[in-house]
A and B are shown apart, each in its own frame.
Chain A
């Protein structure tokens, strides 16, 4: 049975070769991934991070007109308070009404943990439907109902018959995988199984009247528009500025662009099937959804890395252009864009040249940015990818070719980051959200690896990122003052050990 027909999506550990504990070179990483040793990687010490439920919520909270029912004990979903602040901004930025999603917790108690929480889930969904009249109710199945065996899918199917909203289950129990990237699949699995993804006659379009003299023309118009329409797939780490930049570039090639699935609503999501091509912005985000759409609607898709820096942006643009026979136009567009962007970044290059940087965060982004920054004259000391899976292989093939000896770790662990920073003494760390405070306490300036409020992609993103890097080097007094006064919880002996001392099951 295909994954798409299953009630509960697979985690990436089941679907792909995956890992979260590794240290070595780019070549060694590829060997390890291919040999399967990546799968066995583990640690004798772990620090808390996120879970697939957390990332699933980040996506679900953006959806316009959605309510969220957390099926679990009261703690699961508490980050929605903070997420709502961010998604309000994201909605406003995209011209939507900035209203926080209504969300509820089924607030499972000891009695339900013993006797089952299905009844409570049913009541909560019905209440959410009556009270908030959302277009979509996301039912988020957390660890507890998964362990006690609540049949969430059955409840969703039953209750969904009597609700005005589409009830969409999102199965994302944290214990199923330490790798949060499974969340992308969990979110898309819910959408593809429970939401209509095709336009409805009369609601979304007026059906063709075969007898009308206009029918032929209307059909041609529809077919032409669809043949020039591209769906762009975003994700939490990709902000509105980046969407705008890519819409601008694809628009310059004469393509119409719709952006999915974050910040879309149920009406917009019905148009997902009305495109000539689905385009990913990251290798590890959306292959699950895009291959479903190919299977279901025959829409081809392109996964061509992230449009970061000159080379990868050109490659990304050309891959899309090739699908439409627009290679020459794309080449000319990239030439023109590069010429003006190169002139614009010129003043920043001396400021970053030779600076030693450590990169940490999403596996594709760190790889792509490392290549870009090396090309622009920075000295990339190493990469820390938060996880590794097959999707990232093309990037690491590139890396292994260009920088075969670059240090690569698969790590989202702060203690390892602290050890590395103390030893490598980078001039700058480009790092994942949530680590900047730690880096400042270590006395190192840092730049966000991604930030939904800022630009990264394409030409305006490159300019903006270089500005921010140069800006980070200007006056590092805050970091120096802070570091002089802050104590970390690690013993001094930790810094005498190898940063990856606690990784086990890896031949090194």
Chain B
């Protein structure tokens, strides 16, 4: 039996699916659940991800079967059929995806059957099964991707591969609050190598990018925990191999990423070296000037990171390698299975980070672990306390940081004390942004 969770940082599968659809151009979600599910969930993830917002068809615009007790007793298939019919009449979408809530799964509605009836008439309707009790938001992201890329596009006629086209997966809309900025930077770097990247979730993309996805020659999955099984199924359906790696944050990780990407796409290392040089010149052109304030102000910190699985390695590595901070602990707040933990922990040790990785979801237990492992001075004359301390976490860590006089920056979901628009921490540009935000938070009280 899984345990209860305190202040979970991830919601249900339906929530992850909704944030995914909300960021996918041309996709209209239809929630087959009670009236409040869609509103509550998209409200939560559109605010919690640095005020990401509702967008084209998120939030209160999302169609829903809005089932009530009548449907719980007599079944909701007919109500769903009516809702899909009305949605197609009323809303302009390239693909309509029905996503289920727990109650319609529990009463055994034939959601896939209803969607299939529409599909048989040549209307672009599919259904994905996203009940809360089957997984959390991250699982919902994978279920949503599977539905669209493997099931919906799986039936399409096979096309040839475009050796210059790659797809980016693993970065989860909203639950990776910087997903747009991160994806754009990865696409920029890929372009530098002469590649085109389908990011799917950035405003420059259209549904055509989704349709072209099967012809990509590589899927990059920026997650040790999420998306691998989806990528495997994608490979089965479309024959595209996948590469699981960490989101590169900062120049060192980005150098490695670019060499790795060139290697996997048949691009010469010479070309990669030239790009890496160019990018480092720019990065350090900016970065070297920051050394004055960084060093004069003594901005060297002990660091604790509290993030989802996707950001754990990238952020810890950045703090350790680029800032020279002393890593104390890294907490991963996702609910992971043992194989997922093994994959992430394996990658962690291969990265050579000096501190340990802990799996803990509960905010108060994370705070307690930090206190117990790194006690503060309690009146001793001489005491080697881990100060100054910087917590890179979510806005839930604000209270934890405040209590022990640590600094804090919200870089993980939920992030309520900052606005996130096109900012990302991936790549070279992202490394500069993360630096800017960390040091920005330190100099903010000045003046």
Q: CB within 8 Å of B: which residues of A?
A: 44-54, 69, 72-76, 78-82, 85, 99-100, 102-113, 119-120, 123-124, 127, 131-132, 143-144, 147-148, 173-178, 180, 414-415, 434-435, 437-438, 487-491, 493-494, 502
A173 to B, closest residue via Cβ: B34
Contact with A along B110-143 (1 / 0, CB 8 A): 0000000000000000000001111011000000
Contact A103 B6 (CB under 8 A): yes
Smallest CB–CB gap between A431 and chain B, Å? Answer: 12
Residues from chain B with a CB closer than 8 A to the CB of A48 are: 31, 35-39, 42, 59-60, 62-64, 66
Minimal Cβ-Cβ distance residue in B for A127:
B4
Tell me whether A107 and B7 are in contact in the complex, defined as CB-CB below 8 angstroms, given that A48-B36, A414-B61 are known contacts.
no
Residues of B within 8 A of A144 (CB): 102-103, 106, 132-133
Of the residues A75, A100, A178, contact of B66 by C-beta under 8 Å: A178
A73 touches B64 (CB 8 A): no
Q: Which residue of B lies closest to A435 (CB)?
A: B60
| B63 x A108 contact (CB < 8 A) | no
Taking a contact as CB atoms under 8 Å apart, the answer to whether A105 and B4 are in contact is: yes
Taking CB atoms, residues of chain A closer than 8 Å to B28 are: 489
Q: Is the CB of A143 within 8 A of B102?
A: yes
Shortest C-beta distance, A452 to chain B (Å), equals 15
B1-54, CB < 8 A from A: 1-8, 10-15, 28, 31, 34-45, 47-48, 53-54
B371 at interface by CB-CB < 8 Å: no
Cα A194 to Cα B190 in complex, Å, equals 61
Known A46-B35, A73-B133; further 13 A-B contacts with Cβ < 8 A: A44-B86, A47-B38, A48-B31, A54-B39, A109-B2, A131-B364, A147-B103, A174-B34, A175-B67, A175-B69, A414-B60, A435-B60, A489-B91
- Answer whether residue B87 sits at the interface, using C-beta atoms and an 8 A cutoff: yes
Sample 20 A-B pairs with CB under 8 A, ordered by A number. Answer: A45-B90, A47-B38, A47-B62, A49-B39, A51-B36, A54-B36, A75-B14, A78-B8, A79-B44, A81-B44, A82-B47, A107-B8, A109-B1, A123-B4, A143-B101, A173-B34, A438-B60, A489-B92, A493-B89, A494-B90
Are A46 and B40 within 8 A (Cβ)? no
Q: Check B82–A81 contact: CB distance below 8 A.
A: no
Shortest CB distance B338–A (Å): 16
Interchain CB contact under 8 A, A75 and B132: yes
User: Given known contacts A103-B7, A111-B1, is B107 in contact with A147 (CB within 8 Å)?
Assistant: yes
Convert B53-76 into 0s and 1s, putting 1 for each residue whose CB lies closer than 8 angstroms to a CB of A: 110110111111111110110000
What are the residues of chain A within 8 A of B196 when measuring CB–CB?
A: none
Which B residues are in CB contact (< 8 Å) with A124?
4
**Residue B106 contacts which of A50, A107, A148, A490 (CB distance < 8 angstroms)?**
A148
A175 near B68 with CB under 8 A, answer yes
What is the total number of residues of chain B having a CB less than 8 Å from a CB of chain A? 75
Least distance between A429 CB and chain B CB atoms (Å)? 15
Which A-chain residue is minimally distant from B363 (CB atoms)? A102
Asked if B414 CB lies within 8 Å of chain A CBs, one says yes
In the complex formed, the residue of A with least CB distance to B103 is A143
Of the candidates B35, B42, B61, the one whose C-beta lies within 8 Å of that of A178 is B35
Chain A residues, Cβ within 8 Å of B399: 99-100
Inter-chain CA distance A131–B45, complex, in Å, is: 28
Contact B35 A106 (CB under 8 A): no
Name A11's closest neighbour in chain B (CB-CB): B69
Provide the residues of chain A in CB contact with B102, threshold 8 Å: 73, 113, 143-144
**Contact (A176, B4) CB under 8 Å given A46-B83, A113-B106:** no
Q: Do B12 and A75 touch (CB < 8 A)?
A: yes
Could you tell me the distance between the alpha carbons of A339 and B28 in the complex, rounded to whole angstroms? 54
Q: Is B241 an interface residue (CB 8 A)?
A: no
**Judging by beta carbons under 8 Å apart, are B36 and A174 in contact?**
yes
Q: Which residue of B lies closest to A69 (CB)?
A: B4
Contact between chains at A105 and B5 (CB < 8 Å): yes
Contact of B4 among A53, A54, A85, A106 (CB under 8 A): A106
Query: How far is B61's CA from A172's CA once the two chains are assembled, in angstroms?
Result: 24
Interface presence of B207 (CB below 8 A): no
Q: Is the CB of A79 within 8 A of B64?
A: no
Which residues of chain B are within 8 angstroms of A49 by Cβ–Cβ distance?
A: 35-36, 39, 60, 66
CA A161 to CA B101, docked complex, whole Å:
34
Set of chain B residues within 8 Å of A52, measured between Cβ atoms: 36
Interface pair B3/A107, CB less than 8 Å apart: yes
In this assembly, does B93 line the interface, its C-beta being within 8 Å of a C-beta of chain A? yes
Q: Given A78-B11, A175-B68, A175-B103, do A108 and B56 touch, yes or no (CB 8 Å)?
A: no
Chain A residues whose CB sits within 8 angstroms of the CB of B103 once the complex forms: 143-144, 147, 175
Q: Which of B62, B68, B107, B364 has a CB less than 8 Å from the CB of A177? A: B68
On whether the beta carbons of A74 and B10 are closer than 8 Å, the reply is yes
Q: Among the listed B14, B66, B131, B414, which residue makes an inter-chain contact with A46, where contact means beta carbons less than 8 Å apart? A: B66
- Contact present for A78 and B44 (CB under 8 Å): yes
Contact A81 B414 (CB under 8 A): yes
Given A50-B35, A51-B36, A490-B91, answer yes or no on A113-B133 (Cβ-Cβ < 8 Å). Answer: yes
| Minimal beta-carbon separation of B28 from chain A (angstroms) | 6
How many angstroms from the CA of A180 to the CA of B39 in the assembled complex?
12
B35 near A147 (CB under 8 angstroms)?
no
Q: Name the distance in Å between A146's Cβ and chain B's nearest Cβ.
A: 9
What's the Cα separation between A143 and B87 when bound, in Å? 25
Q: Which of A102, A113, A415 contacts B7 (CB 8 A)?
A: A102
Could you say which of A50, A131, A491 contacts B91, with CB atoms under 8 Å apart? A491
Residue picked from A79, A108, A120, A437, most chain B C-beta under 10 Å: A79
For residue B152, CB closer than 8 A to chain A, the reply is: no
A101 to B91, CA, bound (A): 40
> Smallest CB–CB gap between A48 and chain B, Å?
3
B348 nearest CB across to chain A (Å): 25
Q: Cβ of B39: which chain A residues have Cβ within 8 Å of it?
A: 48-51, 54
Among A46, A106, A111, contact of B64 (Cβ-Cβ < 8 Å): A46
